[in-house]
Structure 1
């Protein structure tokens, strides 16, 4: 049975934490790749497609930081980690932020 990894509620989103997560070039590249996809994707597939030149532990760390900031939701299905951007939640709390930061890249 699928489960969702822990993530902050919309009410507890912190703009400083979100902007800090997006300040790192590797995380911003992952978020941009996720943001441009309409559907959730397996995190290992996305990391390969983005071809960031980072080690797997570093990529895993980036995914965790993005999730803990509230930017992504991760669904665990067996050994897979399906990741998607929390677009609606971000738009409720900080309208236009993702488009402003990621939309033009």
Structure 2
């Protein structure tokens, strides 16, 4: 994957997270604050817990930091997969955001 391909795929992922957050806020009582700063999105929940998603350009990875831990993802041509084999990005985000919000949330399509 070239740097430009990585940046295009990473931007699609971050945009999908932001759009999903807007949809979730419109359709649930989650009240998640989504803040974008360059290649990083921070989700802040009413209980003040956070999830941070950011690009790691030199490594061509997306990093996800939640209460449950830190995860690194690489694009496999179809999905962002954990470099340690613990699954797909949106599955982890859905699970951890649901735990932190105290509501069943779905960021993935």
TM-score of the alignment, normalized to the shorter chain, above 0.5? no
What TM-score bracket applies, with the shorter chain setting the length? under 0.3
TM-score, normalised to structure 2, is 0.27
Q: Which is richer in helix? A: 1
TM-score with structure 1 setting the length: 0.28
Higher strand share: 2
Greater RCO, CA 8 A, separation 6+: 1
